Structure 1
Amino acid sequence: MTRVAVGCPDFASLEARIQMRAEGSEVRFTTRFKPKRADELVGGKLHFIVKHTLVGRVEILRFDEREDGRIDIVCVAALERVHPQPKRAHQGWRYLTDADAPKGVDDGDGIGELPPELYRELAELSLI
């Protein structure tokens, strides 16, 4: 699933926001409606879009209903950096297939450390 990180200019600010909102090892993101495929999403990842680029993800633990009728997407409070991947911004959340999901940056090539703007420019030039 993807979601725009509104107001976050980069990965570091998104990471700081998640740590600030964390309650123990969990963080909650509120939405108005429960996804129709919520059962499939548990154990999957919530990917964040910053400046039209997928930059990080957290694991989805569960969906909790709130008293005000909204839904909390409860996730692990550890943001994982991913290989930046261009993605148009959208309102709310969207589903992301496994084939379209970006890889993690655990391979040590340093590409995931690039600022989103630089990554986008290099990708447009077919250099990465």
Structure 2
Amino acid sequence: MALHLIKLCVGAESIADLEEWIAERVAAAGEHVHTTRMTPKRREEILDGGSLYWVIRGELNCRQAILDLRAVVDAEGISRCGILLDPRVVPVDPRPRGPFQGWRYFEAKDAPPDLAGPGEAADELPMELRRELRLIGLI
């Protein structure tokens, strides 16, 4: 069974912001690699269909498939992990998520389902409005 990772998407205001950033990275480097300080130890489980779930502004609301985990050495000679991601962002059923540092393992049983795609009612609402409606129990 696939094992996922979850991480805060610092600086992004929305899924659209993340998608713009990814497009810039792919245009510049030909791929989307997210570099982290720590390397996941459960590599095989992650590469067995795992995704990186992004938390944007306190809400888990999208994911990218993980294609590879690469050993990287930065300009200062420090070992890092490069997470090669599919550039396609998949919106998921949004869930509130508190802050944390770095990445965390995220079990498949805890992962929210993907949204159906364009035309999904929640997908058409702005993120802030969805968040407010969820807080008052309307969605």
When normalised by structure 1's length, the TM-score is 0.88
> Map of 1:44-123 to 2, 5 A cutoff?
44-68=50-74, 69-106=79-116, 108-123=119-134
Q: Bigger radius of gyration, 1 or 2?
A: 2
Tell me, what secondary structure is at the counterpart of 1:54?
A: strand
| 1:13 correspondence with 2:17 | yes
Structure 2 gap ranges (5+):
none
| 1:2 correspondence with 2:11 | no
Deviates more, 1:93-102 or 1:8-17: 93-102
Q: State whether residues 59 and 75 of structure 1, in contact with CA within 8 Å, keep that contact through their aligned partners in structure 2.
A: yes
State the partner residue of 1:125. 136
Of 31, 34, 37 in structure 2, the residue corresponding to residue 32 of structure 1 is 37
Q: State whether residues 66 and 72 of structure 1, in contact with CA within 8 Å, keep that contact through their aligned partners in structure 2.
A: yes
Distance 1:89 1:113, change over 3 A: farther
Q: State whether residues 55 and 116 of structure 1, in contact with CA within 8 Å, keep that contact through their aligned partners in structure 2.
A: no
Which has the larger share of helix? 2
Moved over 6 A (4+): none
Deviates more, 1:112-121 or 1:88-97: 112-121
**Cα-Cα RMSD:** 1.6
Quote how far apart the aligned CAs of 1:112 are. Answer: 3.0
In structure 2, what residue type is equivalent to 1:80? Answer: V
